[in-house]
C-alpha cells in the first residue's frame, strides 16, 4: 500500500496515525459536517413545503418520524460497525479484511431494506393509527411512511457507499454524494408536493417520492466515486457472500447505535402520544423543533463520523495517546457548535418557527418550547462525542446504557409527570432534565483518558482487536 494512492488532495488513511489530531479531525469531519447541514436543509425544506399545504400535513410528518428514524438507525448502526472495522483493518495494513467487510456491508444494506420494505407494506398504517384518530393526519402520514420505507433500498446503498469512502479518508467525496442527493430532493420537492409542470399535487406523498429519488441520485454518485477513487477498498463478488463472523463484529460495534435510534424512536413515539393529549398543534411544534435542531445536532454527528475512523485507525495501530487527544478535540468542537444553537434558540425562536408558516396558536406553544428545550444543548455536545468514542473503542454497552437512561428512564417519565400539570409548556423542561442526567452518566461511565472497561473503570485502554 503506497502512501499516495492518487494525485488528489484527499487524506491518505495512514495520515490518521501521523497528522496533528485537531487538524486531522477538522479535515475529515468538516466535509461530513457540511453534507450533514445539507441533509438538515432538505429535511427542513420538506417540512416547509408540507406546512404550506396544511398544519395537519406537518403533524403527519412528525407522526411518521419515529418509524423513519428506525429506518435511518439501521443504516447508521451498520455504518458505524462497517466504518470502524474497515478503519481498524487498514490500521493493521490488512486490505483483504477491509474488502471482506466492505462486501458484507453491501449485503447488510440489502437486508436492512428488506426489513423496512416489509414494514412499509404491512405495518405503516397500524403504526400511524396507534398515534392518532384524526383521519386527515393519518392519511398523509401513512402515504409518506409507506413510500420512504419501500424505497429505502437507495438510502441504504447510498449510506454504504458513503461509509466506504469515509473509512479511507475520502470524506470530501462522501460529502459530494450526500449533497448531490439532498439538492436533487430539494429541487424536486415543489414539483411533486404542489404539482408543478403538470404533475399531480401529492402533498406528503410527493415529499416522500422526491426523497426516494434524491437518495437514488446520491447512491449512484456514491458508487461512481467509490469505483473511481477508492483504491484501498476493492471488494469482488466473493466478498459479497455473508460472513457470520464479520456480521457479528459489525453489529457488536454498531448494534448499540441501532438500539439508540430505536430508543430515540420509541421516545418520539411516546412524546407524540403525550403531546397529542393537549392539541395536534403541539405535535407540529415538536416536529418543527426536531427539524430546526438538526442544523446543530447533525453537524455534531458529522463531527463524530469523522472522529470514529481516526479513533478506530489508532485503536488498530495501538496509538493510545492519539485516541485521547482526538476525543478531547471532539468535545471542544461539539460544545462550541451546540453553544451557537443555544444562543439562536434563545434569541430568535419566532424567526426560526416562522419558516413553517405557523398559526398564532403554534407560535404561542412553540416560542417557549424552543427556549426551554435549548438548555439541553449546553450538555449535549459532550454526551454525543462520549457515546461515539465508546463505540469506536468497543465500549458500546456504556454508550447504550446512557442513551436508554437519558430517553426512556429520564425524558419520557419526566415529560409525563410534567404533563400532569395540565400545562404543555411545562413538558419541554423534560429535555434539559434528561440531558443533565445523561451528562452525569456519561462522565461516570467514561473514565479518564477515554479508556477503561466499564463505569468508573480506571484501567487504560487495552487494545486487543478481534476483527476479521
Domain boundaries defined on the chain: 21-450
pLDDT at 171 over 60: yes
pLDDT attached to residue 282? 93
Helix (H) or strand (E) holding 445: helix 430-445
Q: What is the mean predicted confidence (pLDDT) over 231-238?
A: 83
Is residue 448 over pLDDT 60? no
CA angle, residues 170, 252, 451, in degrees to nearest 5: 80
pLDDT higher than threshold 70 for residue 55: yes
Surface-to-core class of residue 447, CB atoms within 10 Å of its CB (0-12 exposed, 13-18 middle, 19+ buried): buried
391-441 confidence digits (pLDDT tens): 777 676 777 788 888 888 999 999 999 999 999 999 999 999 999 999 988
Average pLDDT on 84-99 reads: 86
Residue 341: name the closest of 400, 396, 296 by CA.
296
State the pLDDT at residue 90.
Answer: 83
Is the pLDDT at 456 greater than 70? The verdict is: no
**Confidence grade of residue 235 (pLDDT, cut at 50, 70, 90):** confident
Structure confidence at residue 12 (pLDDT): 52
CB 25 within 8 A of CB 329: yes
Q: What is the pLDDT of residue 436?
A: 94
pLDDT tops 70 at residue 9: no
Task: List pLDDT tens digits, range 356-380.
Answer: 989 899 999 999 999 999 999 999 9
Which residues are within 8 A (CB) of 113 and not within 5 positions of it... i.e. 6 or more apart?
152, 153, 156
Checking if the pLDDT of 461 tops 60, the result is: no
DSSP character string of 205-259? HHHHHHHHHHHHHHHHHHHHHHHHH-TT----GGGGS--HHHHHHHHHHHHHHHH
Phi, psi angle pair for 463, to nearest 5°: -95, 100
- The per-residue b/e assignment along 165-189, b for 16 or more CB within 10 angstroms, e otherwise, is bbbbbbbbbbbbbbbbbbbbbbebb
Question: Cβ–Cβ contacts within 10 Å for residue 455, how many?
Answer: 14
Amino acid at each position: 500500500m503506497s502512501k499516495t494512492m492518487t494525485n488528489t488532495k484527499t487524506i491518505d488513511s495512514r495520515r490518521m496515525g501521523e497528522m496533528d489530531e485537531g487538524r486531522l479531525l477538522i479535515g475529515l469531519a468538516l466535509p461530513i459536517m457540511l453534507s450533514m447541514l445539507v441533509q438538515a436543509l432538505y429535511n427542513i425544506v420538506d417540512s416547509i413545503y408540507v406546512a404550506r399545504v396544511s398544519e395537519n400535513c406537518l403533524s403527519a410528518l412528525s407522526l411518521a418520524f419515529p418509524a423513519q428514524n428506525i429506518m435511518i438507525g439501521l443504516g447508521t448502526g451498520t455504518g458505524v460497525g462497517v466504518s470502524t472495522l474497515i478503519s481498524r483493518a487498514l490500521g493493521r495494513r490488512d486490505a483483504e479484511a477491509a474488502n471482506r467487510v466492505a462486501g458484507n456491508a453491501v449485503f447488510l444494506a440489502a437486508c436492512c431494506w428488506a426489513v423496512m420494505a416489509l414494514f412499509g407494506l404491512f405495518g405503516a398504517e397500524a403504526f400511524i393509527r396507534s398515534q392518532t384518530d384524526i383521519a386527515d393526519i393519518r392519511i398523509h402520514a401513512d402515504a409518506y411512511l409507506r413510500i420512504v420505507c419501500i424505497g429505502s433500498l437507495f438510502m441504504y446503498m447510498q449510506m454504504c457507499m458513503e461509509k466506504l469512502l469515509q473509512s479511507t479518508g475520502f470524506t470530501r467525496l462522501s460529502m459530494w454524494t450526500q449533497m448531490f442527493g439532498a439538492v436533487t430532493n430539494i429541487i424536486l420537492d415543489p414539483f411533486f408536493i404542489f404539482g408543478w409542470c403538470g404533475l399531480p399535487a401529492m402533498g406528503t406523498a410527493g415529499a416522500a417520492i422526491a426523497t426516494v429519488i434524491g437518495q437514488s441520485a446520491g447512491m449512484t454518485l456514491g458508487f461512481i466515486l467509490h469505483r473511481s477513487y477508492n483504491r484501498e477498498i476493492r471488494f469482488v463478488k466473493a466478498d459479497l457472500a455473508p460472513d457470520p463472523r464479520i456480521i457479528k463484529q459489525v453489529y457488536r460495534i454498531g448494534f448499540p447505535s441501532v438500539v439508540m435510534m430505536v430508543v430515540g424512536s420509541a421516545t418520539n413515539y411516546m412524546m407524540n402520544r403525550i403531546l397529542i393529549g393537549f392539541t395536534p398543534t403541539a405535535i407540529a411544534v415538536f416536529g418543527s423543533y426536531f427539524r430546526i435542531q438538526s442544523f446543530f445536532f447533525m453537524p455534531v454527528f458529522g463531527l463524530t463520523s469523522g472522529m470514529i475512523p481516526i479513533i478506530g485507525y489508532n485503536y488498530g495501530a495501538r496509538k493510545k495517546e492519539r485516541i485521547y487527544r482526538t476525543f478531547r478535540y471532539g468535545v471542544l468542537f461539539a460544545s462550541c457548535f451546540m453553544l451557537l444553537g443555544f444562543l439562536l434558540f434563545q434569541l430568535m425562536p419566532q424567526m426560526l418557527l416562522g419558516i413553517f408558516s405557523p398559526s398564532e396558536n403554534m407560535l404561542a406553544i412553540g416560542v417557549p418550547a424552543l427556549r426551554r428545550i435549548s438548555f439541553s444543548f449546553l450538555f449535549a455536545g459532550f454526551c454525543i462525542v462520549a457515546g461515539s468514542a465508546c463505540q469506536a473503542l468497543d465500549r458500546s454497552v456504556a454508550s447504550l446504557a446512557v442513551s436508554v437512561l437519558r430517553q426512556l428512564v429520564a425524558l419520557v417519565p419526566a415529560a409525563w409527570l410534567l404533563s400532569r400539570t395540565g400545562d404543555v409548556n411545562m413538558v419541554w423542561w423534560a429535555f434539559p432534565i434528561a440531558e443533565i442526567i445523561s451528562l452525569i452518566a456519561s462522565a461516570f461511565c467514561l473514565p479518564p483518558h477515554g479508556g477503561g472497561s466499564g463505569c468508573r473503570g480506571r484501567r487504560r485502554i487495552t487494545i486487543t482487536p478481534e476483527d476479521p
